[in-house]
């Protein structure tokens, strides 16, 4: 894979990251659902909660108190056999604040794939690391 593919993945990952956390931290989280690939089983594990459909992900994130994510580090790498940067793995580390009081470090890993010219999450793993 050439350097241009890595650059493309980095750009797509940052754009996707910005969109995802903007929607997740908004008062109306209903559009987060649009970022998860439809019809994927074992889609997400959110801090020990297995969420096996986009609707289950949506229900869970809607149940969370208000959030604010501060991203400290992002890494994105193209997946093997991926000549056009159509799929990549992205890891994120940061701090999430719930209800403007409870802060926790978190780690998130997403597998992103282009489906019908749009990028979707096909696997998502979110874990709290520690309270701050």
pLDDT tens profile 24-74: 999 999 899 899 998 776 789 998 999 988 888 889 999 999 999 999 999
Token digits for 47?
Answer: 């801090």
> Taking 80 as the threshold, does the pLDDT of residue 82 lie above it?
no
> What mean pLDDT do residues 98-108 have?
92
Predicted confidence band of residue 3 (pLDDT cuts 50, 70, 90): low
Sheet holding 102-115, edge to edge: 49-51, 44-46, 118-131, 102-115, 87-98, 67-78
Pick the CATH number of 3-128 from 1.25.40.10, 3.40.462.10, 3.10.450.50, 3.40.50.720: 3.10.450.50
Higher local confidence (pLDDT), 22 or 47: 22
Average pLDDT score, the chain: 90
Structural contact between residues 111 and 123, judged by C-beta atoms closer than 8 angstroms: yes
């Amino acid at each position: 894979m050439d350097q241009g593919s890595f650059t493309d993945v980095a750009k797509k990952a940052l754009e996707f990251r910005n969109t995802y956390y903007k929607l997740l931290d908004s008062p109306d989280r209903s559009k987060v659902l649009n970022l998860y690939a439809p019809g994927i089983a074992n889609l997400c594990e959110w801090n020990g909660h297995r969420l096996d459909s986009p609707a289950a992900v949506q229900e869970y994130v809607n149940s969370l108190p208000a959030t604010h994510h501060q991203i400290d580090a992002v890494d994105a790498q193209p997946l093997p056999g991926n000549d056009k940067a159509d799929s990549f793995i992205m890891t994120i580390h940061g701090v999430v604040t719930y209800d403007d009081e409870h802060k926790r470090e978190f780690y998130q890993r997403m597998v992103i794939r282009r489906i019908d010219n749009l990028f979707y999450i096909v696997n998502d793993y979110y874990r709290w690391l520690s309270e701050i």
